[in-house]
Amino acid sequence: MGTGFEGLARWLVKTVYRIERQGCWDSVPAEGGAVLVSNHVSYVDAAIIAACAGRPIRFVMDHRIFASKMFGWLFRRLRAIPIAPAKEDGVLKERAFAEVAAALAQGDLVCIFPEGRLSPTGGLQSFQHGVERIVRETPVPVVPVALHGLWGSVFSRAKRSAGSTWTDHLRRRVRAVCGTPVAPLAVSCTLLEQRVRALEEGA
């Protein structure tokens, strides 16, 4: 993803939302491989994080969201990496892990949503163990992120009141809170879930 598209993504999401960057975004490595982990509450989470991180990101996301008619073009331009559960498509799952390893090895910043799906309630779901495999195969720091204010928006799974339209959500206030990096040897899905939950709860 070139800097021109980064600027476009930033302009688009900032036109729709009022984004506040909080926490330790300056601690995201300026270069070299690293992983961001975030809660997953809307279809535009990737664009929000891309607008805040300050460097190109490769996103790992559910293959169905990657293929969505509304935002598929955006995810392709962000060079997102589609992934599927082994029971659905084991080949695609292994291809995704291989692509993540290659991206990290060449110094890319990769973002994953360890819940594995959009939140159906707005709350944080249990983290899956894929992040442990990623860091075990390619040891890099992991940076926790929590997104606030997207649940209830038109791009989340929250039920909207009768008569509401997407224009009712324009200029919605969104916060992206970044935590401090976790060293590769300390990474576990339990610890990362705790870190993201603490950021989500404002601790």
**Cβ 35 vs Cβ 188: under 8 Å:** no
Average pLDDT over residues 123-145: 96
Task: Report d(CA 173, CA 116) in Å as an integer.
Answer: 25
Q: Against a cut of 0.75, is the pTM above it?
A: yes
pLDDT digit string, tens, across residues 160-196: 654 555 555 567 889 999 999 999 999 999 999 999 9
- Residues 6+ positions from 83 with CB-CB distance below 8 Å: 60, 61, 62, 63, 92, 93, 96, 97, 130
Please state which CATH class domain 3-156+167-200 belongs to: alpha beta
What percent of the chain is predicted at pLDDT more than 70? 88
172-178 and 142-148 strand pairing: antiparallel
Residue 20 and residue 173 in contact, taking contact as beta carbons nearer than 8 Å: yes
- pLDDT score of 71 more than 80: no
For the chain, what is the mean pLDDT?
87
Q: Pull the structure tokens for residue 146.
A: 């929590």
3-class secondary structure, 107: coil
∠ Cα 101 106 109 (to 5°): 75
Contact call for residues 135 and 142 (beta carbons, < 8 A): yes
Residue boundaries of the structural domains of the chain: 3-156+167-200
Euclidean distance between CA atoms 178 and 54, whole angstroms: 12
Q: Are 37 and 112 in contact (CB under 8 A)?
A: yes
Count of residues making up the chain = 203
